[in-house]
Amino acid sequence: MQPLFRRLSYYAKLADHDGESLSKLSVRDHSYAPGEDIIRRGEKTGQVFVIKHGWAVRYITLEDGRTQVLNFMLPGDIFDLQVFLDDTVDHSVAAVTKVTTTVVNADSILSLFAQGSSIAAALWWSTVQEEGILREQIVRNGRRTARERVAHLILELHRRARIVGAAGPDSLELPVSQILIADALGLSFVHVNRVLRSLEKEGLIKKNKGVLTILARSQLIEACGYSEEHLHLDGPPRRLSFMAVAE
């Protein structure tokens, strides 16, 4: 459960005993092979998944095979707190690399909420973040050029990976095919390739065996007007305001 604790504590300054509560939550772990679906559209899981290792994507496929990646999921990411509504999900989640998830049963999360743990606030925060990322995805794909989209996505992924300790200050293990990047950015993979090569030729980035290095961060930021507002990095309150009400 380390990655979750790490991620949540980035925001919420959790105490040690919170770490204990978290580890008690774990119901069981599960592993998935690259390309395997973790959740399939139309299912009702009744469970909450936390990514422990590896990368995953949320995606939707149209009838004719066109597919759109909604967002990338890194260690520490959670899906889905909407489980409390007993709803069927409208999208799928697939493992990109080998993925290990911790499966938490919904009730254990709920008891955290009931107890007023600061973990609950952190969890809720994580859903706010995710929505922010989704909205940014809409803007990026709707109103930015291919070059901007690629640069922006690189910066976002690096930042997110960095938070969970999966990236160096300017480098990032990016186990993601150009096809997947294309499906995330609404581009053809051929064009993604050209943009990447051109960013590389200009010395903004470098890619070597799955490790991407940001060589000129400021130029990369300038190339896309990157800002981090949408990641909501300021962190959640210690407790959800409805907990105060409950007292």
Note the residues at the interface with a second copy (CB under 8 A).
60, 62-64, 66-68, 70, 82, 84-88, 90-91, 106-107, 110-111, 113-114, 121, 124-125, 128, 131-132, 134-139, 141-144, 183, 185-186, 225, 229-230, 232, 234, 236-237, 240-242, 245-246
Residue 178 in the binding site for DNA (CB under 7 A)? yes
In 3-state terms, what secondary structure has residue 158? helix
Position among 172, 196, 205, 223 found at the interface with DNA (CB under 7 A): 196
User: At its nearest, how many Å lie between DNA and the CB of residue 198?
Assistant: 9
Considering only 94, 123, 153, 187, the residue that binds DNA (CB under 7 A) is 187
Q: What does 63 interact with, of DNA, a second copy, none (CB < 5 to 8 A by kind)?
A: a second copy
Q: Which is nearer to a second copy, 18 or 80 (CB)?
A: 80
To DNA, the closest distance from the beta carbon of 214 in angstroms equals 17
φ/ψ (deg, to 5) at 29? -100, 160
Can you list the positions of beta strands (E) in the chain?
A: 28-32, 37-39, 47-53, 56-61, 67-73, 78-79, 92-95, 99-105, 171-173, 205-208, 211-214
CA-CA distances (angstroms) from residue 207 to 134, 138, 155, 196?
A: 26, 27, 14, 9
What track of x and - describes contact with DNA for positions 107 through 146 (by CB under 7 A)? Answer: --------------------------------------xx
State the DSSP H helix or E strand holding residue 20, giving kind and residue range, or none if neither.
helix 16-25
Among 6, 191, 232, 239, which residue interacts with DNA (rule: CB under 7 A)? 191
Identity of the residue, 8 or 184, whose beta carbon is nearer to DNA in the bound complex:
184
Per-residue tokens: 221: 């930021």
Residue owning tokens 């007007």 = 225
Reading the block at residue 151, the tokens are 């640069």
Nearest approach, Cβ of 62 to DNA (angstroms)? 13
> Of the ranges 49-57, 67-75, 175-183, 221-229, which one interacts with DNA (CB under 7 A)?
175-183
Q: What is d(CA 202, CA 198) in angstroms, rounded to the nearest whole number?
A: 6
Q: Which residue has the tokens 């922010």?
A: 132
Residues 86, 43 contacting (CB under 8 angstroms): no
Place of tokens 């380390």: 2
33 binds, among a second copy, DNA, none (CB under 5 to 8 A by kind): none
Cβ within 8 Å of residue 135, ≥6 positions away = 230
Minimum distance, C-beta of residue 54 to DNA, in the bound complex (Å): 14
Which residue number, 166 or 195, has a Cβ lying nearer to a second copy? 195
Binding residues vs DNA (CB under 7 A): 145-147, 177-179, 186-191, 193-194, 196-197, 207, 209
